[in-house]
Amino acid sequence: MRRQRLGILAAAGLTAMAALQGFTPKPQDDGVVRIENVEVRYREPGEFLSATVPVNGPIGEIRSEGEISIMRRQVTRGDYERCVAAAACDPLDKATPADRPAVGLSYNDAVAYARWLSGETGERWRLPTDREWALAAGTRYRDDAWTEVSDPANPSKRWIATYDAESSGQEAVEPDPQPLGAYGENEHGLQDLSGNVWEWTSTCYIRHRLDTGDTTENCGVRIAEGQHRAYMTAFFRDPKAGACSVGIPPANLGIRLVRDEGGWRGWLGL
């Protein structure tokens, strides 16, 4: 009973502190899922070379550092049109229902929308990194290695194994954006992960030289995550016109943003 009273007093104190400064605490359910203390088996994105031979990159467990606050659903066409109406985003090329995910978005469009939403709300919105997306996706995350066959002495083995895995794993993907929730929720409560809308991340394409430890970053190409990882040219809106690392190209390109909370000051809106 005493512990319950202390909890009530602490919450009241935070609310009073916020009121004194003209702020109110954010609601607990505001379309954002807060994820912490999660881990996933993860492989860094990009190309891995042993000398000049393509190989699989190393894989291992990664764990979230702090809290990830990420949108429960993807940005809808209606959401995006508000940014267009404010002359902060470029109009999309194809009309789709306002209550379905916005698609046909380039990386540059996604960054513009995040910038506009940050200005509108006074909060700090941005694209997730590839690591953050993988941690939030949990069991729905799938990296870009279709096979663990990786023999630098005989690269044809990996090529053949990858081809066979891609061929057997490809399925027809519905091209049109579906109603929110059509692909269900993952274990963290995020909707439509790995559905028919791939989501931009802020992570750049990187070439890794395993023999020398050198890396080369190309931020003209960014990573989109969905049913599989894809490498897409930043200004392309049509995924079929851009480079894709493995499998079939993404059906659509869309947005799901992360909100930087900034600890308790972020919780108060400071």
pLDDT digits (tens, 9 = 90+) for 15-69: 443 333 443 334 445 799 999 999 999 988 888 888 877 777 888 999 998 899 9
Dihedral over Cα of 188, 192, 193, 199: its sign: negative
Structure tokens at 240: 């079929």
Distance between CA atoms of residues 121 and 123, nearest Å: 5
**Could you tell me the two tokens for 68?**
């990830």
Q: Which tens digit of pLDDT belongs to each residue from 80-123?
A: 999 999 999 999 998 899 999 999 999 999 999 999 999 999 99
Q: What is the rounded (10 degree) CA torsion for 183, 256, 245, 107?
A: 140
pLDDT in tens, 113-159: 999 999 999 999 999 999 999 999 999 998 765 455 555 555 555 54
Residue 232 or 247, more confident: 232
